[in-house]
Amino acid sequence: MSGLGDGWTRDEINRWIRYHGEISHALTMQRTALESALIPVTAYILVACVECYRRYPQMVQEIAAAVPPEELGRAGHRFATQIDNVHLWAVPNFTLLGRKVLAGAGLLDHGRDAAALAPVLDFWERASRAYRFDDGTHQAWDAGGIATPYRAHAGAIAAACGPVDDAATRARVARLNALLTSYLFLLWFDTRSGYQDSGPYELPGGRVLLLRSFGRLGPSHFPWSAQVAAGMPYTDLLGAFVLDGVRLRVTDFGTSVTEPEDYLAHVVGFGLFDVASGEPVAVDPGRWDAIAAAAKSAQRDLYRMIAGMERRAKIDAGAYVYFTFLRPFAELAGVGLDWTVPRDSLDLYPLLELADGAVGPPVEEDPADYYLPVP
The whole-number pLDDT of residue 358 equals: 55
Q: Is the same domain home to 128 and 229?
A: no
Three-state secondary structure call for residue 163: strand
**Assigned domain for 72 exists:** yes
Domain boundary among 263, 281, 307: 307
The answer to whether the bond into 260 is cis (omega within 30° of 0) is: yes
pLDDT at 5: 87
**164 and 49 in one domain?**
no
Q: State residue 2's pLDDT score.
A: 45
Domain contains 149: no
Structural domain harbouring 248: 154-307
Residue 1 lies in a domain: no
List Cβ neighbours of 12 (8 Å cut-off, separation of 6 or more): none
Number of domains in the chain: 2
Same domain, 256 and 300: yes
Distance between first and last Cα of the chain: 27
Counting as low any pLDDT under 50, the low residues of the chain are 1-2
Q: What is the pTM of this model?
A: 0.95
Task: State how far the Cα of 62 lies from the Cα of 53, in Å rounded to an integer.
Answer: 15
| pLDDT score, position 359 | 52
Residue 4 within a domain: no
347 and 277 share a domain?
no
What is the number of other CB atoms lying within 10 angstroms of the CB of residue 33?
10
